[in-house]
Amino acid sequence: MSLLVSKDISGLMSLQRSVSVYIAFLALFLFGASLFLISSPITSSIHEYMVGIHSPTIQDFVNSTVSKVHQDDQDHHIGNGHENISSVPSPSVSKENIDEKGQVAVAPPSKLDSRNNISGDCDLYHGRWVHDPDGPLYTNKTCPIITQMQNCQGNGRPDRDYENWRWKPDQCDLPRFDPRKFLQLMQGKTLAFIGDSVARNQMESLLCILWQVETPKNRGNRLMHRWTFPSTSTTIARIWSSWLVHHTNDPIEGAGADVDKLHLDMPDEFFMEHIPKFDVIVLSSGHWFAKKSVYLLNSTVIGGQLWNPPTSMEQSMKVNHMEAYRISVETALTAIARQPNYAGLTIVRTYSPDHYEGGEWNTGGSCTGKSKPAQRVVENGFTNGMHQRQVASFWNSMQKTGAAARFRLMDITEGFGLRHDGHPGPYRSPDPNKITKRGRGGRPPSQDCLHWCMPGPVDTWNELVLEIIRREFDHANDPIPQLQH
C-alpha cells in the first residue's frame, strides 16, 4: 500500500515539473513574440495587402481576362437630365473584404495618413442623428439661390422636422457651422465643388449658410459658377463634371451621337485645366454612371450601360457601370495628385445614397411619407457597390501617388443612408396642382429621392468640410475679419 502511494506521489511530482517547464517555455515564447511585435508592428507584406499595393492597375485590367459582369449591372436610368437613380439587387458588399478583382474595399486610413481621421481619435463618420431644436442656419426664404427642385418648403412640403436633426459622431461632437470662421480660414482662397448635380446641391448649401453673414458677388459664367465674398476675398466655385473623365459624343461603331463615350483612362480636361487656381477641392461623382454610355480604355470599347453593342463587340464587353466608376475615380484622383501646379487640399466626398423604395424612379420607387431619420440603414446593393469601389480607388490612388497628405476622404455614405426623410420626394415643383399622394392601387407620384432638401441633411456635409479645413488652416491668433452685410 505504501509503495503505491509513493508511486502516486512521485508521478504527481513529475507531472507538476512538466507543467512548470511548459509554463516557463510558454512565458518565454510570449515575451519574445511581444518584443518582435513592438519592434516590427506590421510586416511589409501585410501592409501592402491592406492598402492594395498589389491591386491591378488600369493597364493590368485591360490586359487581363475579366469575368462576366455580375448582377449589379442591371439597368438604372436617368431621365431628362435629372438624376433619379433606383436601388436594384446586387451582390452584398462588405467594407472589410476584397472584391473579385483584388481591390481592397476599405484600407484603414492609419495605413497611409492618420490625419485622414481628422479629429484625432474621433471617427466623424460613424454616429447617429440627434434632434436639434435650434433648427437650420438658414431658411428657404433667407437664401435666394436654392434650386427650385430642392426648395421643399417653397414647393409645399407640409412637414419640416427633417430640418431639425444634427449628426452626432460616436466619440465627439461635430461643431455647428460657423460662417465667419469659415470665411476667416478661407481668406484669399478658393474652394471648388467638382461633380454632378449633387455636388451643385452641396455648393448651394454652403452658399446659403454663408449668405447669412455676407452677400457674395456673382463672378461666374456658364462654364464655371463663382461667388466671391468681398470682406475676405473668399471664392466658392463649381465645375460640372458628370463622370470626372473625358467624354465625347463622337459616333463609333454601334453607338451614334446620342450615346456618351467615356474615356476611363483620361481625366476631364476642363476641370484639370482649372484646378491650379483652387486651394480646396470637394470632389464627388457616381450617379451618372447609371446613364446610357459606352466605356473605352486606350480608345478601345470595353463595356457600356443601357447600350446594346454590335455582335462583333460582345466578347470585349468586360466592364459594367460599377467597374467603370471605380476606374474613373482612380483616373481622376491620380491625375489631380500628379498635377504639378496644384498643391491644394482635395476632399473626396463619398457616394450619396438615394432612397427609392418599392421600385425605380420611373417604376413606382418612392420616399413619400418619410419624415424622420431611419433607425437602421436598409441595405442597398447598388449604393454599397458604388461606395466600396470609390473608397478602394481612393486608397489605391493614394498608394500609387504618395499624395495622402493632401487628400481627405469624407465618408458620408453610411450616415446618410439613414436620411430617407431628407429628399424632396414629390415636393420638387411649385406647381399647385402637382400630385403628392399615392393614387389608385397605392402607386406613388413621380418624385426625387436622390437630391436633398434645402435646408436639410445636406448642410451637414459642409459642417464636415469646415472641420477638415479648420484642421488644415486654423491659426487661433488670427483676427476674425469684419464682414460686409
Q: Distance (Å, rounded) from C-alpha 284 to C-alpha 381?
A: 19
Whether 85 and 287 have beta carbons less than 8 Å apart is answered as: yes
Query: Which residues are part of the catalytic machinery?
Result: 197, 448, 451
Q: How far is CA 431 from CA 144, 154, 450, in A?
A: 19, 10, 20
Q: In sequence order, what are the residues at sequence separation of 6 or more whose Cβ sits closer than 8 angstroms to the Cβ of residue 8? A: none
Closest CA to 267 of 174, 331, 324, 322: 331
Looking at this protein, which amino acid is placed at residue 79? G
- Torsion of the alpha carbons at 318, 387, 367 and 321, rounded to the nearest 10: -10
Q: Distance (Å, rounded) from C-alpha 226 to C-alpha 238?
A: 7
Q: Distance (Å, rounded) from C-alpha 327 to C-alpha 267?
A: 11
